Structure 1
Amino acid sequence: MINEQLLNPSGIVVVGGSDDIQKPGGKVLRNLLDGDFKGRLYVVNPKVDEVQGVKSYRKVDDLPQVDCAILAIAAKYCPDAVEVLAKQKGTKAFIILSAGFSEENAEGAALESRIVDTVNSVGGALIGPNCIGVLTTHYNGVFTTPIPALDPRGVDLISGSGATALFIMDAGMQKGVKFSSVFSVGNSAQLGVEEVLEYLDESFDPEKSSRVKLLYVESIAKPEKLLKHASSLIRKGCRIAAIKSGGSAAGSRAASSHTGALASSDVAVEALFRKAGIVRCNGRDELATVAGIFMYPPLQGKNMAIVTHAGGPAVMLTDALSNGGMEIPHLEGEKALQLLEQLFNGSSVGNPIDFLATGTAEQLGIILDACERDFDAVDGIAVIFGSPGLFPVFDVYDMLDRKMKTARKPIFPIFPSYTIVKEEIKAFADKGRVYFPDEVLFGNALAKVWHTAAPQPENPVLPAVNVQKIRAIIDQAGNGYLAPEQIHGLLDAAGIERAKEGVADQEEDCVRLATEIGYPLVMKVVGPVHKSEVNGVVLHVKDEQTVRREFRRMMQIKDTYAVMLAQQLSGTEVFIGAKREQKFGHMVLCGLGGIFIEVLKDVKAGLAPLSCTEAREMIRQLKSYKIIQGVRGQEGVNEAKFAEAVARISVLVKIAPEIFEMDLNPLLGNKAGVVAVDARIRIEKEN
């Protein structure tokens, strides 16, 4: 676990410290010195007695007691050094910068395992190996530059990639974002992203802790832990954004070669982030932009005013926000006319509010006051102000700063210029302000933040099911696809309404069953997996003669051992499925059913268990949601019943984790309800 010796050590030794600041051991020492580390500082270097003015010891055996060790030596020497430090020098915190461990080969993995065993034996904390180090407000334990401004209320960054951590810091610094801590976990031999997040959650202090967390992950080793602590932090008032890379096949290979970790299913990751309330980003600049947005008060609505002195950027921002589902309300009426009278001729106030390249700081203040006071339809204000190069804009940025201090509505500053107004921007950032250089990147990021829902409840209300009956069927089942009667039993126990149906392997039984169910009927082969591909499905069966003829024909189809009969119902075809995903548990999916799954691929996934509320949110995120609502006279689907069925399946797979995959395709939905027509369930029990 993370400990005080890692966060705020009384002493640090750099093993492999050097006078050469172009080497990791030299650079990390230089950063510690430049960062004015308050504790005792030591170096181990077998060749010299002093490094960069710091006393150097020839061997780790010669060191005094020391809290934290930063290792920048060859991998093969690390286990012995850690052994001496942990067992003899009281060292409880280790940061291993060196590469050459599990990310490289089996020999390196063995070295890494030995180090972990040693650190664990003394209750220590290990960051790395194969990382850039750790930054806290107490010390600069990284070998990279630049070092960002460190502030207890800045951003906490946790990254599986050291270089990416550096580049994220750089992107944030360009926007005025400050950092509270940076953990580059590298191979995550002992402490990974999940463990650091766990510490940030369990140690969270509403008066002192940062409320913004950024994550870069290539593999999620412990999804339940990540979900638990991310959602817990967000419920405590934090905001979290993350990049999860390695979602494509090629990206997965790259991630594997980078860290030695297996990439996770991207659909499962998407579902986890949505359940936790994490804003998912696709790149470093977007992540840094979202971090900047997090530094402002949350929007209370999605209506934005755009204040600008440049038409083109305002149009592009309008497009980005509108395409992202935000609103740019038209401003009109007496208050709008009064505002227009106070601006130069040629200005416009309809929204965007354009006060021209010659607009003044005073006019900007008037506009911001109007947006704050007079236009209730406005929830937030984006101010685009670069410079036409006509005059300095210190007064404009000072006005922005003053208004931001008193405004109830968040004001987001977008500064498209840099070279011309570099000094003005620096002065603005020096006041502790965050700004955004690109209006489109900002607009896309703001829309993504707005549409990221709050985390799901820790203990959601779930539909009641017959647990005893479910377990009885599963315990008696073998691996493979379940028989129809077993499927029917599970659906009934889960409370899933299903069509009247039955199975027969004799012609007379089939005729009798048809009479019991009633016409019209659907007949399907039992045995072949893809029934329609073998001509094993017949619709609109209306009489006994057809039942007999189709039974005889179907029984001749390869692999068929029986025929299933079901009442033929009408409605919109929808789909519910589930799949067991390694480490993540079960994903539950929903969408339009039948052939639409393959053609449209419009499916949403959630991690089991799902409440009816969460299931309903998934349904409403479908691109085909309008069809489910009912369009052009077509009867819609009972949304509440559909969501309840999704939630019930999520409870079923939670109770029966042996279910490897299942498809309810289709279910027929109408205003009355949702009825399962066909289902497949495959069991895979661990040996």
Structure 2
Amino acid sequence: MLHKNLINPKSIVVIGASNNIQTPGGSVLKNLIEHNFKGKLIAVNPKETEVQGIKCYQEVSQIPKVDLAIIAISAKFTLETTKILTHTKNTKGFIIFSAGYSEKDAEGKKLEQEIVNEINNAGGTLLGPNNIGFINQNYVGVFTRPIPKLNSKGVDFISGSGATAVFIIEAAMSTGLTFSSVYSVGNSAQIGVEEVLEHLDNTFDDIKSSKVKLLYIESIENPKKLLKHASSLIQKGCKIAAIKAGSSSAGSRAASSHTGALANSDNAVDALFKKAGIVRCYGRNELITVASIFMLPALKGKNIAIITHAGGPAVMLTDTLSKNGLNVPEISGKDSDELLSKLYLGSSVSNPIDFLATGNAEQLETIIDYCENKFSGIDAMVVIFGSPGLFEVYDVYDILHKKMRTCNKPIFPVLPSVVNVKKEIDYFISKGNVMFPDEVLFGNALAKTLNPTNTAIKDVNSFTVNLKTIRRIIENSTNGFLPPQQIKELLIAAKIPVVNEVICNSKEECILASKKLGLPVVMKIVGSIHKSDVGGIILNINSIDKLLDSYSKIMKIGSAKAVLIQPMKKGIELFIGVKKEGSFGHLILCGLGGIFIEVIKDISSSLAPVSINEATEMIKNLKSYKIIKGVRNQEGVNPILFAEIITKVSYLVSVAPEIVELDLNPLLGNSKEILAVDARIRIEK
């Protein structure tokens, strides 16, 4: 929990305060003064007695007790300063601007940890170091500009980068987005994005707190904490959008399985965000657009009316919405004809509703009223309105302002004329509105905000497994890939259906196996990880002669230790995989199997534990879902059975966390059964 003296201090000292407002210490003091901090301000500067009209002390030891210290001095002086503040001034809140700590070198990291230890021992909270500061309704403790418009119902913004926070604030101000708080965590020496989110969750008030949270994350240090508190806030009615920078998987371990090739830390981030219900964004403008959509009434359907006086943007928006599964339905009938009669000749109301470049505020109001009251098939309106700059259009924005507050259906204003009617747009924003300057960016963002899943707190199905057998196999195994017989025992103990199989070390054993299993059979090499790559799989062996010939061929392969014989099964090839992805835990993947997993790479993923509902959603999200269901009179797969096996695999790795990679590829499925035909499991203790 963040200390109250950081959040709402009654007194603040700026150490390194200056009359030069182009320094961090001078600028932060100016911001505190100009934004009316109501508590006591104290300045420390060895060369001054007064700074910006505030009494200045030459040494920290001279100041009275103080709640919050904003430290803007060289890193080498901060430890001693912190000691004086914690030991003699009862200071509990700390913001350190200076750089030169863990981001620099080992010596800086040691210094940073010593400062954290001092603050921890005092029961205080540190924001930073190497950050731009903190803004909330109580004070503006940043050295940067501009300061966003503050509003208790604006967004809470947590950023791992100070510069990025400034850029996002700048862009957001031009669209009307307001802020309730801004946390710049810098090096996250004591608290990072996860801890701030935890604080927002634990202190959330349904009436007073902001219900929109924005995150800019460079490193997720505690995925489980992030998942827990993001999910909790979303369950409380909040909406969260986030950028996770650094999505490259270049540093991943060389893959030794299909799962290893397909899974990476970015997949894990996707899965975590999806599980929590966080909308993932990939750029500043997208984040701001999603946040602005969150600030407006929620879209409850998929049918959109586009109201415009410019054809091009309406066409581009129609394309964008349609590609993202939203509808721009045709509007026709008596009411449509009636509306058309009220517009200038040449207008169109079929949707998009184009009331021409000469359209006016009165016509816009009429169109909105028809969409609101007479066109029952419409769920929301997008109003695209710009200007060639020939005349003022304040009346249009007054109509938009009024209708956005009185209509039951959401109205999204797309206002592209950010130069020609800048004054009118500023006027519109000053009345508490948000706007969207780009129709395509808006359309893509709107689609992202629809029904984000939140599966983190749903019940996870438990299965009756042979836990004793699972643990015995794991504990008696050495690190690396398990041999086939142990894999089979492990899957059976986890109640995962497997195809019958026999390992053979001679032609005589092959003949006995074929009689037991029945022809035709499949023969596979034992001893090679990638069987198909070395020619170690022979299908549809339907005679004893072919059986013996196949055994000879496979045993000539250098890595062959034995052969594995299975009955020849038919069905759709499926894939389930697991990879342990650091502190994220186990990433579960599914998709079409066999060669399709390598060629198409159509996978769906989630973080364990996976519920039956979540597994079902994973399957439905596959591009190949239609194939799995069955197409063109071909028998499909039972999706319930597929989902059950996904959850069983998830449960297996929860009771055997030593499993770091697991491939079931392929599973063969039809409408009646799904069987694991080939599997590999790697463990690390």
TM-score normalised by the shorter chain: which range applies? over 0.9
Partner SS for 2:271: helix
Partner SS for 2:681: strand
Q: Does 1:401 align with 2:401?
A: yes
Structure 2 gaps of 5+ residues are: 253-263
Match of 1:297 in 2: 297
* Corresponding letter in the other structure for 2:634: Q
Deviation of the 1:453 alpha carbon: 2.4
After superposition, the C-alpha distances for 1:605-659 in whole angstroms (9 at most, x for unaligned) are 1101111211121222222222212223332222221122111111111111100
- Given that residues 462 and 612 in structure 1 are in contact (C-alpha distance below 8 angstroms), is that contact kept between their aligned partners in structure 2? no
Partner SS for 1:91: coil
* Corresponding letter in the other structure for 2:133: G
Pair 251,595 (structure 1): closer, same or farther in 2 beyond 3 Å: closer
- Given that residues 465 and 648 in structure 1 are in contact (C-alpha distance below 8 angstroms), is that contact kept between their aligned partners in structure 2? no
After superposition, the C-alpha distances for 1:494-538 in whole angstroms (9 at most, x for unaligned) are 222111112122332222122111111000011111112222111
Deviation of the 1:458 alpha carbon: 4.3
670-679 vs 223-232, which deviates more?
A: 670-679
* Corresponding letter in the other structure for 2:124: G
Match of 1:572 in 2: 572
- Given that residues 642 and 673 in structure 1 are in contact (C-alpha distance below 8 angstroms), is that contact kept between their aligned partners in structure 2? no
Mapping of 1:666-685 within 5 angstroms?
666-685=666-685
Q: Does 1:626 align with 2:626?
A: yes
441-450 vs 421-430, which deviates more?
A: 421-430
Distance 1:663 1:569 in 2: 19
Deviation of the 1:455 alpha carbon: 4.2
Match of 2:20 in 1: 20
Deviation of the 1:70 alpha carbon: 0.6
Pair 40,380 (structure 1): closer, same or farther in 2 beyond 3 Å: same
Q: Does 1:520 align with 2:523?
A: no
* Corresponding letter in the other structure for 2:417: S
Distance 2:156 2:672 in 1: 50
After superposition, the C-alpha distances for 1:51-107 in whole angstroms (9 at most, x for unaligned) are 111111111111100000011111111111111101110000100111111011001
Match of 2:274 in 1: 274
Match of 2:432 in 1: 432
Distance 1:464 1:516 in 2: 30
Deviation of the 1:378 alpha carbon: 1.4
Q: Does 1:283 align with 2:283?
A: yes
- Given that residues 11 and 40 in structure 1 are in contact (C-alpha distance below 8 angstroms), is that contact kept between their aligned partners in structure 2? yes
Match of 1:62 in 2: 62
Q: Does 1:29 align with 2:29?
A: yes
Match of 1:261 in 2: none
Match of 1:3 in 2: 3
Match of 1:368 in 2: 368
Partner SS for 1:14: strand
Match of 1:127 in 2: 127
Distance 1:617 1:314 in 2: 33
After superposition, the C-alpha distances for 1:346-399 in whole angstroms (9 at most, x for unaligned) are 111111011111212222112111111222221111101112334321111111
Match of 2:145 in 1: 145
After superposition, the C-alpha distances for 1:176-195 in whole angstroms (9 at most, x for unaligned) are 01100000001100000000
Partner SS for 1:423: helix
Match of 1:335 in 2: 335
- Given that residues 463 and 644 in structure 1 are in contact (C-alpha distance below 8 angstroms), is that contact kept between their aligned partners in structure 2? no
- Given that residues 157 and 179 in structure 1 are in contact (C-alpha distance below 8 angstroms), is that contact kept between their aligned partners in structure 2? yes
After superposition, the C-alpha distances for 1:575-600 in whole angstroms (9 at most, x for unaligned) are 10000010000001111111111111
285-294 vs 451-460, which deviates more?
A: 451-460
Match of 1:491 in 2: 491
Mapping of 1:262-661 within 5 angstroms?
265-450=265-450, 452-661=452-661
Distance 1:61 1:507 in 2: 89
Deviation of the 1:465 alpha carbon: 3.3
Between Structure 1 and Structure 2, how many residues are aligned?
A: 674
- Given that residues 456 and 614 in structure 1 are in contact (C-alpha distance below 8 angstroms), is that contact kept between their aligned partners in structure 2? no
* Corresponding letter in the other structure for 2:385: F
Structure 1 gaps of 5+ residues are: 253-263
Distance 1:398 1:506 in 2: 87
After superposition, the C-alpha distances for 1:320-362 in whole angstroms (9 at most, x for unaligned) are 1112221111111222112212211111111101111121222
Aligned-residue identity in percent: 57
Match of 1:187 in 2: 187
Deviation of the 1:480 alpha carbon: 1.2
Mapping of 1:166-185 within 5 angstroms?
166-185=166-185
Distance 2:473 2:145 in 1: 61
* Corresponding letter in the other structure for 2:621: Q
Deviation of the 1:249 alpha carbon: 5.1
Distance 2:456 2:334 in 1: 43
Deviation of the 1:452 alpha carbon: 2.7
Match of 1:238 in 2: 238
Distance 2:464 2:338 in 1: 60
Displaced runs of 4+ in structure 1, greater than 6 A? none
Distance 2:663 2:333 in 1: 55
Partner SS for 1:412: strand
- Given that residues 665 and 679 in structure 2 are in contact (C-alpha distance below 8 angstroms), is that contact kept between their aligned partners in structure 1? yes
Partner SS for 1:583: helix
Match of 2:90 in 1: 90
Distance 1:466 1:177 in 2: 55
Distance 1:459 1:227 in 2: 15
TM-score normalised to structure 1 length: 0.96
Distance 2:8 2:314 in 1: 46
Deviation of the 1:462 alpha carbon: 4.2
187-196 vs 402-411, which deviates more?
A: 402-411
Distance 2:426 2:556 in 1: 81
Deviation of the 1:228 alpha carbon: 0.5
* Corresponding letter in the other structure for 2:481: Y
RMSD over aligned Cα, in angstroms?
1.5
Distance 1:466 1:329 in 2: 55
Distance 2:390 2:81 in 1: 62
TM-score normalised to structure 2 length: 0.96
After superposition, the C-alpha distances for 1:251-289 in whole angstroms (9 at most, x for unaligned) are 99xxxxxxxxxxx81111011001110000010011011
Pair 609,178 (structure 1): closer, same or farther in 2 beyond 3 Å: same
* Corresponding letter in the other structure for 2:246: G
- Given that residues 245 and 251 in structure 1 are in contact (C-alpha distance below 8 angstroms), is that contact kept between their aligned partners in structure 2? no
- Given that residues 455 and 614 in structure 2 are in contact (C-alpha distance below 8 angstroms), is that contact kept between their aligned partners in structure 1? no
Pair 645,189 (structure 1): closer, same or farther in 2 beyond 3 Å: same
Deviation of the 1:567 alpha carbon: 1.1
Match of 1:112 in 2: 112
487-496 vs 201-210, which deviates more?
A: 487-496
- Given that residues 127 and 186 in structure 1 are in contact (C-alpha distance below 8 angstroms), is that contact kept between their aligned partners in structure 2? yes
Partner SS for 1:285: helix
- Given that residues 328 and 351 in structure 2 are in contact (C-alpha distance below 8 angstroms), is that contact kept between their aligned partners in structure 1? yes
Partner SS for 2:450: helix
Match of 2:259 in 1: none
- Given that residues 460 and 612 in structure 2 are in contact (C-alpha distance below 8 angstroms), is that contact kept between their aligned partners in structure 1? no
Partner SS for 1:492: helix
Distance 2:393 2:490 in 1: 70
Match of 2:72 in 1: 72
Q: Does 1:201 align with 2:205?
A: no
Distance 2:7 2:633 in 1: 64
Match of 2:256 in 1: none
Deviation of the 1:463 alpha carbon: 4.4
Pair 464,435 (structure 1): closer, same or farther in 2 beyond 3 Å: farther
Distance 1:171 1:674 in 2: 52
